[in-house]
Structure 1
């Protein structure tokens, strides 16, 4: 997508490395994730990240430049490493799998606090917000084929927007996670998937 392409082209840490450079990137991003999960975005310090990763400060400053640069590259890496979309043979099965994946991510002891820190950073920093939009754009694009297959099987009305179907699954889960701070449970995920499926079948996402 255009936003993701712009991020890849312009943001610090955007060149995909190989060899030793890949190991440096992996170590720095691992340290960044741990620091975000433990202390949040505003405590992110490049000197401490370099020390935790076992790399030189100059390398971190030259390549990532700022805490925002670290978060941007971390989100890109998370999108790249995320599990691929399911193919259970039915739209219902695929949407339930998507809901469970989101649930497992947000309730994970490490990933949950990390996402909370990134969302908080995006609320007050436009570059972080751009990076977060890029992450979700990538994940939505990777899961859109489950709705496209549903369309091909006749499970959805013609003209249904696949992205909107997938977005409808995760939206209530993220609302509970980031806004209302209500508990997330397997039942919550099942309801989100069922509601998205019912709305899609009724034509709510036809464009």
Structure 2
């Protein structure tokens, strides 16, 4: 692995968001450690299991609707994977997850090749009506520091763009040297918020703006 790729992988692993990326053609799933550790598992438990390594943990009553949500994406009926479901932890209990993903790569015929998404833990009880509070808690948690207000470089955990100013997000530079040694914060840019959470985006972005 070259220095550029290794540095970028290190940055992604430190994300405050549990993210995943599914390569459909090879059935391989990339994810940061938080995606597994938030369930109490060792990330190595999922390295060779593909997509089913995670979906096998979904509650039986939620499994079919979760699969149907992904089938809608794979069939081209929608570009957005969106589903809330219960998933089993290493301790054997179930927690609610809010899972959102978007197609990031298609083949020449328009068929999806890669899907990338983020997961928010909604807790042990059904959180219907409190999705915004759960999502906002993640936004506020990302980028905080016990040292107080410091300067961060913020990376979108979905599209991987970098926050340049309060409202500007730019593509990752070809030279990562500007990021090395800097304090890295993770968030989700407004464009990705609108794609992943179309029903919540207006309220979420409004709250973020109020607290800037």
Query: Between Structure 1 and Structure 2, which shows a larger proportion of helix residues?
Result: 1
Larger % of strand: which? 2
TM-score between the two structures when normalised by the length of structure 2: 0.29
Which of structures 1 and 2 has the bigger CA Rg? 1
Q: TM-score, normalised by structure 1?
A: 0.30
